[in-house]
Structure 1
Amino acid sequence: MKRIASLFFIVCIGFAQLAKADEGMWLLPLLNKLNMNKMNELGLKLSAEDIYSINNSSLKDAIVIFGGGCTGELISDQGLILTNHHCGYGSIQALSSIEHNYLEDGFWAKTKEEELPAEGLKVTFMKYMEDVTERINAELSDDMSETERQAKIWEVSSNISKEATEGNNYRAIVKDYFEGNQFFLIVYEIFTDVRFVGAPPSSIGKFGHDTDNWMWPRHTGDFSMFRVYCGPDGKPADYSKDNVPYQPKHHLPVSLKGVEMDDFAMTIGFPGSTERYLTSWGIEERMNITNEAMITPRGIKQDIWNEDMMASEKVRIQYASKFSRSSNYWKNSIGMNRGLEKLNVLEKKRALEAEFAEWAAGSDERKAKYGEVLSDLEKAYEAQAPYRKARSYVLECLLRGTEIYSFSLRARELQTALENDNQEEIDAAVKKLTEAGKGFYKDYYPETDRKVLAALTDLYYNTIDKQFHPEFYQTINKKFKGDFEKYANTVFSKSIFSSEDKFNAFLAKPSLKKLNADLAFSAGLEISETYKNIVAQLKETTSTISKANRLFMAGLMEMHPDKVYYSDANFSMRLSYGTVGDYEPRDGVKYKYYTTIDGIMEKEDPNNYEFIVPQKLKDLWKAKDYGQYADKDGKLHVCFTTNNDITGGNSGSPVINANGELFGLAFDGNWEAMSGDIAFEPELQKCINVDIRYVLFVIEKYAGATNLIDEMTLVKE
């Protein structure tokens, strides 16, 4: 085990110069060994210590996990955070109402007293990372079963995390890299008092909406602003009027110097997940099962949502954030399948696997260690295919697609309390459900969910083998003669979960008999049981695939000792580096690297909510009133492209120039390279960024929030 870890470091350190500048999500503690020479060649003026330092202020101290799945950056010494509009979307939506529609109208706090507490939102700073591979490997042996191995890793990791958090308020986790061949301890500090500071209206922050999502050219001002607060002692604290703006160890200076072709660009953020080393069988499963299960059910659900959202402003506010989250990976899945087919990724993977098989057979030692890896993978993926498909459809149709089923399951604790006839437990469960109901019903329209339930229970029934059907399908067939519309109508006419009034009336006088007889609750329990049974059946194949992938990864590094390997993304802090540039997506077409405000006006369509342009923005454009944010060509630049390697989780990541200054905000990838999570395409892969000058223009010229501009450290030359 130790030999594998040592080999990794030899490979990476000895051959780092072969890495391409535009591919790879790199761990910050290893930059000095792996990347600095190449980054300096591309123009970087900073040292590795400037980027990542444990004891001194560095760029990493200005970067946060925003919420649970995005990146943000500190841009003032008063805790001011910049992230994407779509990252703040959920919080903005939660704070919105018909009377105060911050999604549609925007919002700007002109004083700190006007900032709005964003309930439930948190930001997380990474304090440091530490390689603990040797410590964990010392407790492992090759004769362990995969279950025993994982149990030991968990035990040792828990001890390491506990040690790291003794005597402080930090959180710690040990994450594995290279399919379990390497381990890092990561220590975090979490702040829970985060307040909404400002955002443009959706007509700017989501200009182009779903039509332009993943597309270039782009003209979206995808940004929002928040502030992190702490206790008077500078430590994390829950919301209090006595809290003060957090003073970070480092905040990013903001560059007004503009964007030029071939400029150095790096991103630092928290990319969520990539599978660049996935085998051909894994890719087939991703395309034909996982992605397909996102494409078909979500497409049906989104059509229903969209129709109701267009008919009602109330529904549009309630479902705006839900629709955005759903459609993002729906479109991503479509693009990924298209890209993987176009790039012949399966053929390339099969060629690599054939090479691996020949190499493994080349010596008795390699044959003993790696000879069964590929056959084990093929058999395991084949065996689990029907279970994976059923699992994916249970999630997309029944647990995530239909809201009433999943919400009803929150009553399980109350069910237990009622069964125990324990009044204290009943009161506690009722209190929790009352609070949960407030949030749920605020963003819930029963008639919309009724339509979704009818459509998706029907889809599941006709797509998934009957062995995976929850028991309530028998009721639909017997009592409702297979009519899913009638079934849905009955659920919503009778269920205590179908409206806030019914729900609260039930909680005022909870009854075990009534709860158990509820159609939504009983169906939810059956769906949950079906899901657990499917997952249990996947346990053995999942274990086989995990072990085989770990050995395949180790074997690849032995087979190609002259190649640099970077680990897959796993929502830990990473840096990517590259340059500003244009690209040619297809024959006869060349996209330049930037867009301007002129393109917004060209796309304007007052009859399409996706392309409405605010009158004030048009007035500023007509007057060419761009202030200090105009480019040297006299135009206001909006977005630009770089070849940085990013994925989901990088949304909101700062795009930083050679001097460590913020000059853009990453918010998307391009349609032609949606295969990027599995196969990086260096000729086409682009990171789409909003130009920081457009962000500042909107803040100052459009919103008049000069108080926020005054906080920042602006760099003009």
Structure 2
Amino acid sequence: MTFGRRVSGGFGVFCAALIAAVSGATALRADEGMWLYERPPLDLLKERYGFVPDAAFLDRLRMASVNIHASASFVSPEGLILTNHHVALGSVQRLSSPENNYVRDGFYAPTRDKEIPIPGLTIRVLVSIEDVTSRIEAACAGASSPADALKKRNAAAAAMELECRRTTGLEGEVVALFGGARHHLYRYKEYTDVRLVFAPELQAAFFGGDHDNFTYPRFDLDLAFLRAYEGGRPARIEHYLPVNPDGCREGDLVFVSGHPGDTDRLVTVAGLNYFKNVTHPKKIEALLRRQALLNAYSARSPEAARRARTNLYFFANSLKSTEGELRGLRDEILMGKKKSAESDLQAAVMGDPSLRARFGSAWSDLERAYAWAAENEAETRLKGDMPGGGWGRLTSHALTLVRYAEEIRKPDAERISGYHDSDLPGVLRRLSSPSPTYTDLEEVFLADDLERLLETFGADDPYVKTLLEGKTPREAAREALSGTRLGDTAFRRELLKDAGKGIAACEDPLLRLARRADPFIRDVERRYDEHVAAVEEEAYARIAQAGFAVYGDKSYSDATGTLRLAFGTVSGYPFASTLVPPFTTFYGLYDRAYSFGDRDDFALTNRQRERRASVRLETPLNFVCTADITGGNSGSPVVAKDGSLVGLVFDGNDASHPNAFVYDERQARCVAVDIRGILEALDKYYDAGALVREMLDASRRP
């Protein structure tokens, strides 16, 4: 389980925040905003840039945008998808083996029959949107408590999602917006047959390593191509983005369409202090511990290093991001702006008797919720998920199977989140999909989680005693994983037959561990929902409504992992006593490599070294713009005013970390791969002329 909307790795409490208040208390800063497609900032664009995208522009961009648990886009009518290498990295790792190390060596399928299916990967395209706020509010009427309202709200949303699937064949998702003051039903078309087409070497995609991560200038080929199939053939796509081989220029207005993860732009001061003092320091501590574990595991053998490489990349990325956010939380100037905005809204509410009666207690309710969360932080973080489940596939499968077998026998409205009828196709697809598992690596994760529980709560703690049964953490982890058959896809499929009737009686040791853990995990979830999640839902909805009443509602909602539109200009920025250019080139790639001796994280690939003479070194490689982005925007297309693709978002610079809480365009930048660099690299480094032709031919179609 993950607690709150911005948590990763199974701990921390983060609430979806509200933007309505800041939009009235202070003017939106320059190119600020991750805008809903159903509420595009047309007046703002007209005022600032003299340009208003029409409905055809927005519809095409929306339908060309792909949700891949991050962002991506269609770039040809033959189902070709462009995203980041680091977005596809997990899939590339799963398809790799000691004999075919596609992470290290890259991959290219020159013909369709060479494209490799990616088991378990599903992508989605947003087809339509409906405001269902009134239906959600009606379902919650008469709730006896915030926790009861949360339960009713989740049941109503699940019913709408199931209705969507049954009546339209589309995947439905009810999305809470503006802190829960509004709810929209998003309908998606799903593609479950997705294949790998191209991925460069990790060294080319992540040139500079963690040293250069979240910095700029950059020189990365962080791109990958996939292809969606239907009925065994490339999907026929009506809405795709034509590539623009001329790219963009400094000062150009550009748009970013993607799926930014949850932001906390106006979480209350109490929440920000909780992040600063509790969740972020604890997350950093946990990530450092995991890094050390994985580094030790990697030292066992070259094969162990290959298996751990992807996890190490994501740990380092998450660590650097969290450290950057913590710096933002400790920045007195930035946080002073947050306090001022909150005080202004509170003063307006308290000064109006009607508003005070309706909304005045919301802030104090949240203060109590975060105080409870701080007091119970260790239990929530360490007992709120299956041990090893944050990063282990087998342990996650075990808990999912145990819960599926129990929840499927309940009426839909009484099930826990994630197991409603509308969720089950995805659950069954994940459990039934083949994927490599590394038992020795999972044993490291499981043993460490058990060790942390023992260190924190002691051997006499009921949960610890139930899990360990008198064994050491290492012994318990080895017993559970050495004898499990859950890595066998056929075995998992057999367990799922007859609605999972055989799961409860199965004596697989990892399933037995999950059965012992589940009652404790459910109790933590229940108490967290009662004391924090339900309070957040109710209080933030009221604060949002207060913001609407005081300032109006022409603003943008916090990011929720769903499709958003951002805009900005291609622009460098001042840094220290110099200027940072908007573009980098292949010249800069070679200069940076040779300046560091062409070694380690700054080494060129063999292709880059051997084919230097054929590359037009003046070709733009990466660029920056002022578009408002955050985590989850990776893989987002950058498009020009004519709707053509000019770039691919892959990062933000260091100054962009506080974007989770506040936008500031002075130095914060969105970092993208230039389409000209993509085309040049495909042609000159990888002999991928067929890919180049497919995109260019598609761009010439009317």
Q: Counterparts in 2 of 1:565-576, with a 5 A limit?
A: 565-576=555-566
- Distance, in Å, in 2 between the alignment partners of 1:408 and 1:174 is 28
- Distance, in Å, in 2 between the alignment partners of 1:17 and 1:449 is 49
**Cα distance per residue 1:526-559 (max 9 Å; x no partner):** 5443332222222322222321221122223333
Judging changes above 3 Å, is the alpha-carbon distance between structure 1 residues 693 and 11 closer, same or farther for their aligned structure 2 residues?
same
- Distance, in Å, in 2 between the alignment partners of 1:179 and 1:107 is 43
Structure 1 equivalent of residue 374 of structure 2: 385
Question: Which one has the largest radius of gyration?
Answer: 1
Structure 2 equivalent of residue 26 of structure 1: 35
- Distance, in Å, in 2 between the alignment partners of 1:390 and 1:151 is 23
Task: Report the AA paired with residue 61 of structure 2.
Answer: L
Structure 1 equivalent of residue 177 of structure 2: 177
Judging changes above 3 Å, is the alpha-carbon distance between structure 1 residues 139 and 95 closer, same or farther for their aligned structure 2 residues?
closer
Q: Which of 542, 545, 548 in structure 2 is aligned with 1:554?
A: 545
Structure 2 equivalent of residue 421 of structure 1: none
More displaced stretch, 407-416 vs 328-337: 407-416
Alignment pair present for 1:50 and 2:41 = no
Task: Report the AA paired with residue 108 of structure 2.
Answer: W
Matched residue of 2:627: which SS? Answer: coil
**Aligned-pair CA distance for 1:246:** 1.4
Runs of 4+ displaced beyond 6 Å: 8-12, 14-17, 413-416, 435-438, 465-469, 499-504, 510-517
Task: Report the AA paired with residue 207 of structure 1.
Answer: F
Is contact 1:272-1:569 (8 Å) kept? yes
Structure 2 equivalent of residue 497 of structure 1: 481
Q: Counterparts in 2 of 1:73-472, with a 5 A limit?
A: 73-137=73-137, 141=141, 145-154=145-154, 157=157, 160-161=160-161, 164-231=164-231, 243-309=232-298, 312-394=301-383, 395=385, 398-400=388-390, 406=396, 409=399, 412=402, 442-444=436-438, 446=440, 448-453=441-446, 455-463=448-456, 470-472=463-465
- Distance, in Å, in 2 between the alignment partners of 1:467 and 1:360 is 49
- Distance, in Å, in 2 between the alignment partners of 1:50 and 1:17 is 32
**Aligned-pair CA distance for 1:523:** 5.3
Task: Report the AA paired with residue 242 of structure 2.
Answer: P
**Cα distance per residue 1:574-608 (max 9 Å; x no partner):** 100001111234x3243222222233233435785
**Aligned-pair CA distance for 1:255:** 1.1
More displaced stretch, 697-706 vs 520-529: 520-529
Is contact 2:25-2:551 (8 Å) kept? no
**Aligned-pair CA distance for 1:92:** 1.0
**Aligned-pair CA distance for 1:406:** 4.7
Q: Which of 577, 582, 586 in structure 2 is aligned with 1:588?
A: 577
Structure 1 equivalent of residue 634 of structure 2: 651
- Distance, in Å, in 2 between the alignment partners of 1:139 and 1:451 is 45
Judging changes above 3 Å, is the alpha-carbon distance between structure 1 residues 695 and 33 closer, same or farther for their aligned structure 2 residues?
closer
**Aligned-pair CA distance for 1:194:** 1.1
**Aligned-pair CA distance for 1:471:** 2.5
**Aligned-pair CA distance for 1:661:** 0.8
**Aligned-pair CA distance for 1:88:** 1.0
Q: Which of 658, 667, 670 in structure 2 is aligned with 1:687?
A: 670
**Cα distance per residue 1:446-501 (max 9 Å; x no partner):** 1x55555555544444456899772338969xx67xxxxxx2443355x1523679
Alignment pair present for 1:531 and 2:517 = no
Task: Report the AA paired with residue 471 of structure 1.
Answer: V
**Aligned-pair CA distance for 1:111:** 1.0
Task: Report the AA paired with residue 637 of structure 1.
Answer: P
More displaced stretch, 297-306 vs 596-605: 596-605
Matched residue of 1:31: which SS? Answer: coil
- Distance, in Å, in 2 between the alignment partners of 1:502 and 1:128 is 38
More displaced stretch, 269-278 vs 302-311: 302-311
Task: Report the AA paired with residue 317 of structure 1.
Answer: R
- Distance, in Å, in 1 between the alignment partners of 2:49 and 2:64 is 22
> Between the two proteins, what is the percent identity of the paired residues?
26
Judging changes above 3 Å, is the alpha-carbon distance between structure 1 residues 221 and 39 closer, same or farther for their aligned structure 2 residues?
farther
Matched residue of 2:373: which SS? Answer: helix
More displaced stretch, 80-89 vs 205-214: 205-214
Alignment pair present for 1:669 and 2:675 = no
- Distance, in Å, in 2 between the alignment partners of 1:356 and 1:322 is 43
Matched residue of 1:613: which SS? Answer: coil
- Distance, in Å, in 2 between the alignment partners of 1:503 and 1:168 is 35
**Aligned-pair CA distance for 1:267:** 0.5
Task: Report the AA paired with residue 573 of structure 1.
Answer: L
**Aligned-pair CA distance for 1:330:** 2.4
- Distance, in Å, in 2 between the alignment partners of 1:570 and 1:192 is 23
- Distance, in Å, in 2 between the alignment partners of 1:564 and 1:588 is 38
- Distance, in Å, in 1 between the alignment partners of 2:137 and 2:403 is 40
**Aligned-pair CA distance for 1:410:** 6.2
Task: Report the AA paired with residue 352 of structure 1.
Answer: A
The normalised TM-score by structure 2 is 0.82
Matched residue of 1:248: which SS? Answer: coil
Matched residue of 1:644: which SS? Answer: coil
- Distance, in Å, in 2 between the alignment partners of 1:210 and 1:499 is 37
**Aligned-pair CA distance for 1:77:** 1.6
Is contact 2:147-2:530 (8 Å) kept? no
- Distance, in Å, in 1 between the alignment partners of 2:239 and 2:119 is 26
- Distance, in Å, in 1 between the alignment partners of 2:61 and 2:503 is 56
**Aligned-pair CA distance for 1:375:** 1.8
Structure 2 equivalent of residue 610 of structure 1: 601
**Cα distance per residue 1:46-68 (max 9 Å; x no partner):** 63212334xxxx222211112xx
**Aligned-pair CA distance for 1:206:** 2.2
- Distance, in Å, in 2 between the alignment partners of 1:165 and 1:411 is 23
Matched residue of 1:126: which SS? Answer: strand
Task: Report the AA paired with residue 490 of structure 1.
Answer: E
- Distance, in Å, in 1 between the alignment partners of 2:333 and 2:155 is 42
More displaced stretch, 636-645 vs 202-211: 202-211
- Distance, in Å, in 2 between the alignment partners of 1:135 and 1:613 is 57
- Distance, in Å, in 1 between the alignment partners of 2:588 and 2:278 is 38
More displaced stretch, 204-213 vs 454-463: 454-463
- Distance, in Å, in 2 between the alignment partners of 1:453 and 1:163 is 39
More displaced stretch, 640-649 vs 164-173: 164-173
Task: Report the AA paired with residue 472 of structure 1.
Answer: K
More displaced stretch, 246-255 vs 340-349: 340-349
Is contact 1:203-1:613 (8 Å) kept? yes
Gaps of 5+ in 2: 1-17, 407-426, 496-501
Is contact 2:220-2:622 (8 Å) kept? yes
**Cα distance per residue 1:213-238 (max 9 Å; x no partner):** 2222211110000111113xxxxxxx
Is contact 1:276-1:678 (8 Å) kept? yes
- Distance, in Å, in 2 between the alignment partners of 1:513 and 1:227 is 39
Task: Report the AA paired with residue 497 of structure 1.
Answer: L
Q: How many residues align?
A: 649
- Distance, in Å, in 1 between the alignment partners of 2:483 and 2:597 is 36
**Aligned-pair CA distance for 1:208:** 2.5
- Distance, in Å, in 1 between the alignment partners of 2:138 and 2:309 is 50
Q: Which of 511, 521, 530 in structure 2 is aligned with 1:540?
A: 530
Gaps of 5+ in 1: 1-7, 232-242, 417-431, 481-486
